[in-house]
Chain A
Amino acid sequence: MQWVGNNLGLVAELTLAHIALSIPPIVLGGLLSIPIGWLAFRFPTWRGSVLGVVGVLYTIPSLALFVLLPPLFGFPILSELNVIVALVIYAVAIMVRSVSDGFASIDAGSLRAATAVGYGPWQRFFQVELPLAGPVLLAGLRVVSVSTVSLVTVGVLVGVKSLGYLFTDGFQRRIEAEIVTGIVMTLVVALIFDVLLLALGRALMPWSLLAKSRLRANEAV
Chain B
Amino acid sequence: MELFVDAWLWLTNPENYTSEGSVIQRSLEHLAYTSIVVVLAAAIAIPLGFFIGHTGRGRRWAVGVAGAARALPTFGLLLYLVLLLGVERRAIAAVIALVLLAIPPLLAGAYTGVDQIDRRTLDAARAQGMTGGQVLWRVEIPLALPLIVGGLRSAVLQVVATVTLIAYVGLGGLGYDIIQGIPLRHFDQMIGSALVIVLLALLLDALFAAMTRVVTPKGVRSAGGEDIRAREGSRRALTRAR
Whether A105 sits at the interface, judged by CB under 8 Å, is yes
List CB contacts (< 8 Å) of A91-110 with chain B: 94, 97-98, 100-102, 104-105, 107
Decide if A63 touches B165 in the complex (CB within 8 Å).
Answer: yes
Contacts of B68 in A (CB 8 A): 187
Q: Which residue of A lies closest to B197 (CB)?
A: A64
Interface size class of A (residues with CB under 8 A): 35 or more
Looking at chain B's contact residues, is the secondary structure mostly helix, strand, loop, or mixed?
A: helix
List CB contacts (< 8 Å) of A126-156 with chain B: 136, 139-140, 143, 146-147, 149-150, 153-154
Q: Which residue of B lies closest to A184 (CB)?
A: B76
Q: Among A67, A105, A176, A186, which residue has the most Cβ atoms of chain B within 10 A?
A: A67
B interface residues, tally (CB under 8 Å):
51
Decide if A71 touches B1 in the complex (CB within 8 Å).
Answer: yes
The CA-CA distance from A104 to B233 in the complex, in Å, is 8
The CA-CA distance from A99 to B100 in the complex, in Å, is 29
The CA-CA distance from A191 to B70 in the complex, in Å, is 11
The smallest beta-carbon distance between A147 and chain B, in angstroms, is 7
Decide if A71 touches B161 in the complex (CB within 8 Å).
Answer: no
Residues of B bordering A, CB below 8 Å: 1, 3-4, 67-68, 70-77, 79-80, 82-84, 157, 160-162, 164-165, 168-169, 175, 178-179, 182, 187, 190-191, 193-195, 197-198, 201-202, 205, 227, 229-230, 232-233, 236-237, 239-240, 242
Residues of A bordering B, CB below 8 Å: 55-56, 58-65, 67-68, 71, 77, 94, 97-98, 100-102, 104-105, 107, 136, 139-140, 143, 146-147, 149-150, 153-154, 157-159, 163-164, 166-168, 170-171, 174, 176, 179-180, 182-183, 186-187, 190-191, 215, 218-219, 221
Q: List 17 A-B contacts (CB under 8 A).
A: A60-B197, A61-B162, A64-B198, A67-B178, A67-B191, A67-B194, A101-B236, A104-B233, A143-B70, A146-B71, A153-B73, A157-B165, A157-B179, A163-B73, A164-B73, A182-B76, A218-B240
